[in-house]
Amino acid sequence: MSEKVYCIEAADNEDDAVLCDRLMKLIQDENLLACIADKDITAVKTHFGESKKLGYARPLYLKMLGDGIKGQGGVPFLTETSTLYKGSRSDAIRHIAHAHSQGFDYASTGMPIIMADGLYGDEEHVVPINGKAYKAVHIAALFAKCNALVVVSHFTGHLAAGFGATLKNLGMGCASRKGKMEQHSTAKPKIVKKKCTGCGTCVVWCPQEAITMNDDVAVINAGKCIGCGQCLAMCRFDAVKFDWGATYEDLQKKIVEHAMGVCSLYKGKSLFINVLTRISKDCDCMGHTFEKIVPDIGILVSSDPVALDAASLDLVEQRAGKTLPQLAHDIPYRFQLDYAKELGFGSQDYELIWKN
Ligand code: SF4
Ligand code: SF4
């Protein structure tokens, strides 16, 4: 059976306030928040972005959604999890301060921020699943305590997953630190000696103290490395390489299994939204540069995360007239969707419903 995916088309660089009004109308007209009942504690999961110059779902979308959830009698709050790598989002205190600086404060969203994985990212709930890689996944603890879930994701290219949208926001973004480490653990970086300038940036940022300098060249201790990719993100000299070819499939499988675990907690109690504007080659965590790889497309909404990501990916390729590997990273990129099908999680079969 085809899953419904609702879509609002955006002109390129259309004003967010205009799009937000149209999204609100769509949600009201189609009663898309009907999954939320009176007094439902509702987690609204998003990504606060790395800098204001880059792509992410702006606070006004969250304000509109929060108001809509309250209109259903629900009790919404914004939530996120800590990153594996060091930086402005690696613990609850810095992450919330960062969110406020990005405009996600109570005044602009009408919702408090409560981190889903506690102060240090280690508070978790073990969710049993019938996966192929796992029989249980480690999810941020708070997701086991809420009644409903709304996930707002920004579509981007991604150097390991091919693309990042709802499945990645669920699988990686809702995992505890342990869950994130399990997903990343098979990818290990190498240093290209000829390119390494010895600047030492990767040493400072490595969360595991796995990098040392030897004769002004970085050296990675593979035993300590957790495969988080922070050194890759921070090296300006292209001296860090990951063998994604050996691992992308494994990472994407693990992301999907974690996403399936999160969704198993919210059967019939969730809604997923993909924002397809300001689409960049790399995910919103990689904050160094921003280059739009396709004109803005719009906003998609569905109760099926797999159908939503499948429709989003198809629209990106149609709008660009190119495949995602031609636009971003040349790796197999439909594996997340195909693997979800293999697991019987969600549906790639969708009916696209355009709304004004
Ligand atoms: S950041 Fe890059 S160039 Fe600098 S030490 Fe690390 S690998 Fe070498
Ligand atoms: S060496 Fe490993 S643990 Fe350290 S930043 Fe790189 S990928 Fe992460």
Q: Please tell me the residue having the least CA distance from ligand 1 atom 4.
A: 199
Q: Please tell me the residue having the least CA distance from ligand 1 atom 3.
A: 196
CATH 3.40.50.11440 in the chain, residue ranges:
3-182+248-355
d(CA 324, CA 15): 25
Q: Please tell me the residue having the least CA distance from ligand 2 atom 4.
A: 206
What is the distance in A from the centroid of ligand 2 to the CA of 232? 8
d(CA 284, CA 290): 9
pLDDT for the residue 89: 85
d(CA 169, CA 185): 18
What is the distance in A from the centroid of ligand 2 to the CA of 218? 11
What is the distance in A from the centroid of ligand 2 to the CA of 189? 7
pLDDT for the residue 297: 97
Q: Please tell me the residue having the least CA distance from ligand 1 atom 8.
A: 196
Give phi and psi for 23, each to the nearest 5: -65, -40
- Assign a CATH topology to domain 188-242: Alpha-Beta Plaits (3.30.70)
Contact 295, 10 (CB under 8 A): no
**CB of 208 shorter than 6 A to ligand 2:** yes
For the chain, strand residue ranges (E) read 3-9, 41-45, 75-79, 124-128, 136-140, 148-154, 156-158, 162-164, 189-191, 211-214, 217-220, 240-242, 270-276, 298-302, 350-355
Q: What three-state secondary structure class fits 9? A: strand
Best residue among 86, 209, 225, 235 to mutate for probing ligand 1, ranked by most atoms within 8 Å of CB: 235
Residue with tokens 């609204």: 44
Q: Which two tokens stand for residue 265?
A: 């907690």
DSSP run (H or E) holding 202: helix 201-205
pLDDT for the residue 245: 54
CATH 3.30.70.20 in the chain, residue ranges:
188-242
What is the distance in A from the centroid of ligand 2 to the CA of 211? 7
Nearest CA-CA partner of 287 in 102, 146, 134, 113: 102
pLDDT for the residue 101: 95
Instruction: Say how many C-beta atoms besides its own lie within 10 A of residue 330's C-beta.
Output: 11
CATH number of 3-182+248-355, picked from 3.40.50.11690, 3.40.50.460, 3.40.109.10, 3.40.50.11440 = 3.40.50.11440
Query: What contacts 224, CB < 8 A, 6 or more positions away?
Result: 208, 209, 210
Exposure letters 117-153 (e unless 16+ CB within 10 A, then b): bbeebebbbebebebeebeebbbbbbbeebbbbbbbb
Give phi and psi for 163, each to the nearest 5: -145, 155
d(CA 88, CA 83): 9
**pTM of the predicted protein model:** 0.86
Evaluated on CA atoms 142, 63, 293, 307, the torsion sign reads positive
Nearest listed ligand to the Cα of residue 196: 1
pLDDT for the residue 38: 98
Q: Which two tokens stand for residue 129?
A: 């699943």
| Atom in ligand 2 nearest the alpha carbon of residue 220 | 1
What is the distance in A from the centroid of ligand 1 to the CA of 233? 11
d(CA 264, CA 279): 29
Per-residue pLDDT of the chain (356 residues; tens, 9 = 90+): 799 999 999 999 999 999 999 999 999 999 999 999 999 999 999 999 887 777 899 999 999 999 999 999 999 999 999 987 667 787 899 999 999 999 999 999 999 999 999 998 889 999 999 999 999 999 999 999 999 999 999 999 987 888 999 999 999 999 998 898 888 777 778 999 999 999 999 999 888 899 999 999 999 999 898 877 778 778 889 899 876 555 788 889 999 999 999 999 999 999 999 999 999 887 777 655 678 899 999 999 999 999 999 999 999 999 999 999 999 988 888 999 999 999 999 999 999 999 98
What is the distance in A from the centroid of ligand 2 to the CA of 234? 10
| Atom in ligand 2 nearest the alpha carbon of residue 234 | 5
- Residue 212 pairs in a beta bridge with 219
